[in-house]
Each structure stands twice: as structure tokens, then as C-alpha cells.
Chains A and B, each alone.
Chain A
Amino acid sequence: MTLLFTRYFRKVSIAFILPFFLVSMISVSLNAQNKPKDETIKFNEKCLQCHGQSKYKYLNPESGSEVTKRMYLETIINRTEYYDSNHKTFKCTDCHSADYDTFPHPGRLRMESKYACIDCHGGDETYAKFKFEEIETEFQSSVHATKHSEDFNCWMCHDPHTYKINVRSEEKIKDIVAYDNAICLNCHADITKYQMLTDKVNPNILKKHDWLPNQALHFKSVRCIECHARTNDSILVAHNVQPKEKAVRRCVECHSTNSILMASLYKYKVQEERSKAGFYNGVIMNEGYVIGANRNYYLGLISLIMFGCVAFGIAIHATLRIIKRKK
């Protein structure tokens, strides 16, 4: 009996534990692929020992003393954010000149041109599904590209040292909204950054959106681009930001069975998940609720049938009362 039990236990263990073990191994190896190598971290540290914080030190050969200087804000790289970003596996010199290894950095390096997203991601089979070329075309027609000079590039919104893809992840919609809206607010809610590109006075976003009912809830539940960028069927995140006059203002654009949210904020979830049975735009209901967009087909049908039956009953009753009335 004991032997039988031991054999049975072994079989069960193999059947249950082995697949779990294999899955764990695969996930460990996948994670390892996506982590920066130790040598990369060590290599990058040569740059980050100065660029990783707000102050840096060097030895002045003239005076022989150690000098402490402040690092320019835009050249400070936060280690935590960098090693959590999409480009975390990169060495600094993958994108920047190897000549930066000398200090003081050679002056000619100031002329070094920066890569745009398309320079690495364009025309590459690996990234074909992200459609960077299309994103570039959409961006070029956007108000960001047409109203500003070349000053406005990809980096304005997507700092390559910190940018982390989130819309294709399993993250909650509310977190995606918060992350993406922070990108817009980075300039649109900061007068200093806003006026680096324009002489205009930055409009007060809260006041401009006074007309929007439940303003705080809208800001938490949808991204700015839902109303301010034109959707494109072939790319996941709309990049064609429109002039403010063309922003969506009609409530029913979202609050209807044909909700544009399904082609914007919920596009990825729609692609990944099956909608809930009988519900219009059911995927939205996992994390939110949109009046007019989330109604149930069957519930509507049942209520219509019930109303029909009552109306029919009343019609029969009324007809009989008329026929049988006292003469």
C-alpha cells in the first residue's frame, strides 16, 4: 500500500511539478535576456559616476585640487529609471560616441547628432510590428511637428533614458493613463518647459476643461490623446496630435456603443482579449464603466420583450373594457 502510494505520489509530482519547473526556467531565462549584463552596468558606471547625480568631481591639473561642479539637469541620468526603461540593456556608447571616455569631453562632440527613434527602429524586421515608419508619418502631421521646428522631436515625450513601454503590458488602464498623461503634462503643466518651445502663455488645463463633467474622473480614466489625437487603424498609440479646435468634444464619441475608446485606449486590450458575452465594449468593463458604451444586449432585449408583453396585455385589457362597457 505504501509503495503504491509512493509511486502514485511520484507520478503526481512529475505531472504537476515538472511543467511548473520548466515554465519557471523559461521565465528565468527570458528575464535574464531582458536584463542588462553586469559588464554593461560596469561599463556605464564610468559615465554615470558623473552623469548619475547632480554633482560631479574632477581633479584640476592646474591647481592640483579637487573641484565639485553641478551637472546640467538635462544630462543627469537616473540609474533606477534607466535600468527599468526599454533601453536598459544598452551601453552608453551604443548611442553616444566612444570618444566621451576622455575628460574633459572633446568640444567637437557637441556637434554629435542625436538619433531619432526611426534611426534604429525604422526598416527593421524585429520592430516591424510597432510600425515606427507610420508613427513617424503621423507625428510629422501632428501639431507638435507642424507648429514647431525640428526642436520638437521624439525625445520631447519619450526620453530614451527613461521611456518605458506600458500600453502593451499587462498594466492596469488607470496606470497607463497616469503614465501617458504625465508625458503631456510634463510640458503642458509646466510653464518653464512649455515656454522653451513657444512664447505663448500656457493655458490653464483645468480651466480649459471646465466644460467636462466629472473632470477629475475623466482625467484619471482616459488619456489626453483620446480626444486630442486622431486615431489611426494601423498603429496602436495615436501620434497625430491635433490643434485644440479639432479635439473631440462630443460626449457620444466615447459614450456610445461605437465608442472611440475601443480604437484608442482599449485598442491593445481589445486585440488581446475577447469581449464579454452580450456586452457592448465589454473589455472596458474590466476596469471602468462608460455610460452609453457598456450596455448589455440581452438585458436590452429582455426589457424590450417585457415592455412589449405589458403593452400587449394593456391593449387587450383596454379593448375588452371598451367591448364590454355598459351601454
Chain B
Amino acid sequence: MSGKIYLYPIWIRLWHAFNAILIILLIISGVSMQYTNPDNPFIRFDIAVSMHNICGITLTANYAFFLIGTFFTPNGKYYKLTLKGLTSRLIKQFTYYTFGIFKHEKPPFPVTKDSKFNPLQQFTYVIAMFVLVPIVIITGWALLYPEYTLTKVFGASGLTLTDFVHVIIGFFVSFFMFIHVYFCTIGATFVSNFRSMITGFHESH
């Protein structure tokens, strides 16, 4: 059953590499700004602000590139969620990760040319790429141009609300990234999935 399938064309690999670098820089600069400490700055505040702004703008362009690629190439099909039976498929994959994997069972949804993601992957990627990332991008731009942001929302400061949404969703994105990197170690070998994102070939078990 072991073999190599070409799953990741060059544009996806480039987008993914940029996305990874930008999100890491955004998390680092974002955390540094949020927890500023004059005596012991992680990254100097003004540098962190510039870094966050530049990376955020670049991430928006990169996200637009991803959207175009997803809607105008066959890559989009991997993100089409089939709601029927989704819960049972999610439970099946979850059970595999929590029990089956330790018993060396075969993955319930092996990677094929037509099905790049397992149900859990597909679900979290759709949430991350079509819900979380757009929210951080929109709120991020609103914070970049605070003079155009709603000043009051139901009596509360609109800027405060925007920032809280940005920070909370940003936290979930970093959360996603943390788990995503760990799950990438679950492949044919510990590093095979990381290698796939460079070579483009998926290595099966």
C-alpha cells in the first residue's frame, strides 16, 4: 500500500510556506504586543507593530491567492464538506487518533488523489481557512484603520470589541497551528508530511 501520490502542486506549496511563515511571525509579534512589558520587551513595541502590520497585509494578499487557487483549480473540491454522515465520519477519525493509532490500525480514511484530507482535517481546515482566517483579516484591517472602525457597538467601544474578536480568533488560529504541526508528525514517518510540503508528493503508510 506504500507509494507516492503527487498531491501538492507548486502553487499550494508556495502558498502554504508563505502562510506558515507569516502566521508564525504574526503570532510572535501579536503576543509581544499584547503582553508588552517595558522592562523586558520580547520584541520592541514599535518593531512588533510594524512586523504585525506588514505580515498582516502580506497574509491578506496570500489569502487572496489561496482563494483564487481554490476556486479556479480542482483544489477546491477538497474543501467541499459533505454534511451527510459528517458526525459519524468525524467520530470515526477521532476514535482512530485516540485509540486505533496505538493499536496500529489502518487509517479509516486513507489519502487518495480524490480525498486529500481525512474528515477531521477537512472540517478543521474549512473552519480555519473560511471562518477564522477571514475574521482575523477583516478585524486586523479594521484595527489598521481605526478611524474607519465603528466607534460604538451597543454602547461599547467598537474598537475594543474589534480588538477582542481579533485577539480571541487569533488565539484560535495559533491553537490550530500548534495542533496542526503536531498532527503532521503522524505520517508514513515522523517527517514524511513535512517533506511532502516541500516535494509535493504524499507518502502513504
Q: Do A and B bind each other?
A: yes
Q: A232-261, CB under 8 A of B: which get 1 and which 0? A: 000000000000000000111101111000
Q: Indicate whether B124 reaches chain A with its CB closer than 8 angstroms.
A: no
| Complex contact A318–B38 (CB within 8 A) | no
| Complex contact A253–B102 (CB within 8 A) | no
| Complex contact B175–A310 (CB within 8 A) | yes
Interface SS, B side: helix
A292 and B44 alpha carbons, distance in the complex (Å): 12
Neighbouring B residues of A326 by C-beta, 8 Å? 104
Neighbouring A residues of B102 by C-beta, 8 Å? 320-321, 324
Q: Indicate whether B134 reaches chain A with its CB closer than 8 angstroms.
A: no
Neighbouring B residues of A306 by C-beta, 8 Å? 175
Neighbouring B residues of A324 by C-beta, 8 Å? 102-104
| Complex contact B175–A292 (CB within 8 A) | no
| Complex contact B160–A256 (CB within 8 A) | no
Q: For residues 99 through 113 of chain B, which have their beta carbon under 8 Å from a beta carbon of chain A?
A: 101-104
Q: How many residues of B contact A (CB 8 A)?
A: 32
| Complex contact B49–A289 (CB within 8 A) | no
Neighbouring A residues of B36 by C-beta, 8 Å? 251-252, 255-257, 292
A134 and B101 alpha carbons, distance in the complex (Å): 74
- Closest residue of B by beta carbon distance from A325: B104
| Complex contact B45–A286 (CB within 8 A) | no
| Complex contact B38–A286 (CB within 8 A) | no
Contact of A318 among B41, B49, B179, B182 (CB under 8 A): B182
A320 and B33 alpha carbons, distance in the complex (Å): 37
Q: Indicate whether A285 reaches chain B with its CB closer than 8 angstroms.
A: yes
| Complex contact A294–B160 (CB within 8 A) | yes
Q: For residues 7 through 24 of chain B, which have their beta carbon under 8 Å from a beta carbon of chain A?
A: none
Contact of B45 among A255, A257, A285 (CB under 8 A): A255
A256 and B40 alpha carbons, distance in the complex (Å): 11
Q: For residues 280 through 324 of chain A, which have their beta carbon under 8 Å from a beta carbon of chain B?
A: 285-289, 291-292, 294-296, 299-300, 303, 306-307, 310-311, 314, 317-318, 320-321, 324
Neighbouring A residues of B33 by C-beta, 8 Å? 255, 291-292
Q: For residues 213 through 241 of chain A, which have their beta carbon under 8 Å from a beta carbon of chain B?
A: 213-214, 216-217
Q: Indicate whether B168 reaches chain A with its CB closer than 8 angstroms.
A: yes
Q: How many residues of A contact B (CB 8 A)?
A: 36
- Chain A proximity of B175: nearest CB distance (Å): 7
| Complex contact A285–B46 (CB within 8 A) | no
Q: Indicate whether B76 reaches chain A with its CB closer than 8 angstroms.
A: no
| Complex contact B160–A251 (CB within 8 A) | no
Q: B46-64, CB under 8 A of A: which get 1 and which 0? A: 1001100000000000000
Using a CB–CB distance below 8 Å, which chain B residues touch chain A? 33-38, 41, 45-46, 49-50, 97, 101-104, 146-147, 157, 159-160, 163-164, 167-168, 171, 175, 178-179, 182, 185-186
In the complex, besides A256-B38, A292-B34, A314-B179, 12 extra interface pairs with C-beta distance below 8 angstroms are A216-B147, A252-B41, A286-B157, A287-B157, A289-B160, A291-B34, A291-B163, A292-B33, A294-B163, A310-B175, A324-B103, A324-B104
Using a CB–CB distance below 8 Å, which chain A residues touch chain B? 213-214, 216-217, 250-253, 255-258, 285-289, 291-292, 294-296, 299-300, 303, 306-307, 310-311, 314, 317-318, 320-321, 324, 326
Pairs A–B under 8 Å by Cβ, sample size 6: A257-B36, A258-B38, A285-B157, A292-B35, A292-B36, A320-B102
